[in-house]
Chain A
Amino acid sequence: MDAAVASTASRGSKDLRILHIGTGLGYGGVQVLMATLIREQQKMGLDAEAFFFTDRGGFDYFRSLCPIHIGSESSLDDVISKGRFDIIHTVTYVAEELSASIRRTGFRGAVVVTTHQFGEYERSLAADCVTAVSAAVAASIQDRYASEVRVVRNGVDTSRFHPMESGLAGKPIIGWVGRCADPIKDFDGFLAFANAMSGSFAFEVVDGSATDFEVAGWLPPETAVRRKLPWDEMPEVYRRLRASQGFLLSTSRSEAAGLNLIEAQACGCPVIAPAIDGIPEYVARGASGFLYDRDDGLEGIRAAVDLLYAPGRYEEVSRAAAEYAARKHPAEKMCAEYLGIYEEALQRRGKHATLAPRGSRH
């Protein structure tokens, strides 16, 4: 047993240290997910830190949560060397840089890679375990990894994202959340839909683009555009949509998981989204929301809207959405599943440490 393994075994589970690595610290679903996971890991007694190669202004997600290292200020080598981490849990996009750091620092812990995007896996990084955020993503990368790609679905912090009863006068609000500048999110679809339905609905756009994409001119007058909204304000956004009897609309071309869909549902906000990639794994079709065929364009969305607003249906879907998110996708479940993955990864490295933090697993 080498020194690192011995150290982990002797320290026991309560001292387990995890370094999460992401590319840019911006305003995206991956950052939200990492923050949610770290928060949950801390609740379970695990010790986590995060490293991002670039700072794109998303520091708020991690404020008061854990130590954050940015590539422009700290070298990854130093962070790994000094941190005495047992696990490096990384996104797939940083394989080259991370491989070099692991080589240089002689890191002997386990490496877990999570793929957040359809078809994205960088095999040059020697991972002890590879996970994907949906079965669709796992299937898209399985041929590039010798062992089974494990599916750990994204989770939502239900202590923050939960329904609250409050009525809101006025038109139902249709929300769109994402980076308008990202062609994968296809904001054009929302522009088309909002302008086609502007008489019946109001609209709210939460844009996480790094720079202002200047979309306001193409939106109907009764549209609120919010840029780079702090994550802890998102529950209020979804509750506002719910209170207005509105819904969250996704127009994405590709979506590995769609964390915003889960967060919205957790707040009782129904979702209408395209039936693509990982989305069907995150929406109880016809119960917590409705899926449409992207090839049907606006007609597909309109048909889903008709279903949602059939007499008596909205409240039923809203309740089902909150129940579905809390039951199927709670952060606790995600955290426990990752813990199992960490354990497996360490075992592959010849470690047999019990990772369950004291008092958190039975």
Chain B
Amino acid sequence: MRVLHVNLVCGHGGVETVLATLMREQRESGMAADIFCFIDRGGAANYDGLGKIWFAGPDSLTMTILEGKYDIVHVVTYAAHSTVGCLRKSLFRGGVVVTSHGVGAYEDALRSDAVVAVSNAVAESIQGRYARPVRVIYNGIDTRLFFAAPGRSDEKPIIAWVGRGSDPYKDVGGLFALANSGALPGFQFVMVDGSSEGEEPANWLPPESSVIRRMPWKEMPDFYRRVAASGGFLLSTSRSEACPMNMLEAQACGCPVIAPKIGGIPEVVIDGSTGRLYERASGMSGILDAVSWLYSGDNYDRASRTAADKAASDYSAKRMCEQYTEVYAEALKSHRAGALDKAARRVLSTVMSSVYAGRRLVRRPKPPARGTAT
């Protein structure tokens, strides 16, 4: 089976991480998976060694679909609007699966054979706009990379904040408020900022804190293990979350999570078990209460163990890949027409190639080849 994933942005966010994780798993299960992104924000390394990566501009989604002989086009809902016309122009006859990665995020204009949400909270927020049941497939993590390691370090406990500081939904202001309040003097603050270059927020952290910009994904397991070894935790201050990869990955490494009780978070962070949830409206006092709980008795050690166990058992990439494979099979089975025959595709491909080549000649010189094949 050949799958083309379509995403809006190729940066350093959770969606990119989950797509790379899924593609890696699909590749290992014998599928061929490539990815097309409309906007390049420097995150191509996420997909190193996983398949081909195409970008709008040098490449066209229509041509990629036409030439790639894909059975399934799997679209992130944020890219749906831009994908509609390309599917139409390429006369794509395979299955179209859309995954919604955000609460309330769904594009009605895209014809799809199946709609998937990454949490129940997301499914409920979009179900009213889709005729058939929205299926829930939680994001998965690569448990070969993200796992807990025993032992404690001498490092001051780390309060880690991981996300795009430039994204208002992540509300990094909450981290700045807490870090500067002096309410938690026994901790150090580390911000792992995935903001694209040029969009980074100012560093309003106190001097003894640190900021790591665009940490490569492959370094994240060691970072979470470092946090866990220090006796620290992952802090979220988000306004909205669907199925946060950072929380799944942190927990898999034995790192407890303190996060607001919003969106899909309560589905992946079990309050009083793998971490502690707080009411967002209570702000800092909510976080301080949660910290107080985490460091009472043996709560920390139990939360650390439970978090790692639960992540490994419930959120593996293998499980996610199997569930998507089922959805692909259903999408193909329920599909109303067969694939465009070889001759028709060749004719259409030739026509569209001429169209795009003509446009390139008129509009701009052909851009230099980018790292499209990996």
User: A-side interface residues toward B, CB under 8 Å?
Assistant: 181, 183, 186-189, 191-196, 198, 214-220, 253, 294, 297-299
Contact = CB atoms under 8 A, between A and B. Distances in A.
A191 B283 contact: no
B203 interface: yes
A-side interface mostly: helix
Interface residues of B, number: 27
Interface of B: 166, 168, 172-174, 176-182, 201-207, 239, 280-286
B204 A297 contact: yes
Nearest to B199: A183
Given A217-B283, A298-B206, A195 B201 contact: no
Contact of B176 (A183, A188, A299): A188
Given A189-B202, A191-B204, 9 more contacts: A183-B168, A186-B201, A188-B204, A215-B173, A217-B285, A294-B202, A297-B202, A297-B203, A298-B204
A198 B181 contact: yes
Given A297-B203, A298-B206, A195 B282 contact: no
A253 B284 CA distance: 25
Most B C-beta atoms less than 10 A away, residue of A189, A198, A217: A217
A219 B281 CA distance: 11
Nearest to A299: B207
B180 A218 contact: no
A139 to B, nearest CB: 21
B281 A195 contact: no
A192 B205 contact: yes
20 contacts: A187-B173, A188-B173, A191-B173, A191-B180, A192-B179, A195-B177, A195-B178, A195-B181, A196-B182, A196-B206, A214-B281, A215-B173, A217-B174, A217-B281, A218-B173, A219-B283, A297-B202, A297-B203, A297-B205, A298-B180
A192 B283 contact: no
Contacts of A192: 173, 176-177, 179-180, 204-205
Nearest to A181: B168
A240 B176 CA distance: 27
Which of B204, B205, B283 has its CB near the most chain A CB atoms (within 10 A)?
Answer: B204
B173 A217 contact: no
Q: Which residue of A186, A191, A194 has the most chain B CB atoms within 10 A of its CB atom?
A: A191
Given A196-B180, A198-B181, A218 B174 contact: yes
Contacts of A189: 176, 202, 204
Contacts of B207: 299
A188 B202 contact: yes
Contacts of B174: 191, 217-218
Contacts of B176: 188-189, 191-192, 195
